[in-house]
Amino acid sequence: MKKLFFLVLALAMYITSFAQARLVTAEYQKTNQPGIECNIPFPEKTVAKSIDDYFQKLGYKGKDNKGYLTYKGVHLPQLGADIYDLYFKTDRKSKKDKDATRVIMLISSGYEKFIGDTINAHLIDSAKNYLNGLTERVAAYDLEQQITDQDEAVQKVTKKLNSLTSTGEDLLKKKTKLENDIAENLKQQQNLKAESEKQLQILNNLKTKRKQ
């Protein structure tokens, strides 16, 4: 029981260590800009799609901009009442760890005027909290994708099963018809054999009546 407790605790600490957002200096178009970074324990492709799916559901369409997926004129409740341009960059945390992704987020008040903690500390703290919750949102997105993929797999197998079942029913009908045809053929053979023997007997009787 103690081992299980420490294992769960270690896992929780592992995930928490991944999720903690921190201030960084990020490169954007060959300039250094204030940003926020966090690590997510999911593959880069999953994280990127999760972020884009989240903003698309809010009605914002992302655009690739020099390696950053950019959303313009965003009102994100977690960041307060104002509107911002949000820039996201995702890449693999390390070559060895393909299931860990580094996420960098830049916040602009417009026209690439990026905001750091010295300009708006409250906003940056809110942005950190937003990124700290990203792991949970990615996990939920990943689960939904697995459910969707599994549902498609079930539908695919079910379609094949229904097709085979239909084919099997057709084959059984053909088998029944074939067996009936064989039985009818054998019956006709027997009838014709009897008729043939009868006609042959008549022929032989006629031949015996020939004058010698």
Residue 82's SS3 state is: coil
Do residues 193 and 200 lie in contact, with contact meaning Cβ atoms separated by under 8 Å? no
Residue 106 pLDDT > 70, yes or no?
A: yes
Mean pLDDT confidence for 118-132: 94
Residue 10 pLDDT > 90, yes or no?
A: no
Q: What 8-state DSSP symbol labels residue 114?
A: B
Residue 84 phi, psi (nearest 5): -135, 160
Structure-block tokens of residue 68: 């950053």
Whether the CA torsion 185, 187, 188, 194 is positive or negative: it is positive
How far apart are the C-alpha atoms of 53 and 33, rounded to whole Å?
26
Confidence of residue 137 (pLDDT cuts 50, 70, 90): very high
Confidence of residue 164 (pLDDT cuts 50, 70, 90): very high
* Structural domains in the chain plus CATH codes: 12-147 (3.30.310.80)
Average pLDDT, the chain: 89
**Owner of token pair 């991944």:** 18
Percent of the chain with pLDDT over 70: 91
Residue 144 pLDDT > 50, yes or no?
A: yes
Percent of the chain with pLDDT over 90: 79
Highest mean pLDDT among 1-5, 119-123, 208-212: 119-123
Q: What are the percentages of helix, strand and coil residues in the chain, rounded to 5?
A: 60, 20, 20
Do residues 74 and 68 lie in contact, with contact meaning Cβ atoms separated by under 8 Å? no
Confidence of residue 18 (pLDDT cuts 50, 70, 90): low
Structure-block tokens of residue 105: 């987020």
pLDDT digits (tens, 9 = 90+) for 44-76: 999 999 999 999 999 999 999 888 999 999 999
The pLDDT value given to residue 2: 55
Global pTM value: 0.70
Angle at 141 between CA 43 and CA 85, to 5 degrees: 85
Residue 12 pLDDT > 90, yes or no?
A: no
- Alpha carbon dihedral 154, 159, 164, 167, in 10-degree steps, equals 170
Mean pLDDT confidence for 111-132: 93
Confidence of residue 8 (pLDDT cuts 50, 70, 90): very low
How far apart are the C-alpha atoms of 170 and 57, rounded to whole Å?
47
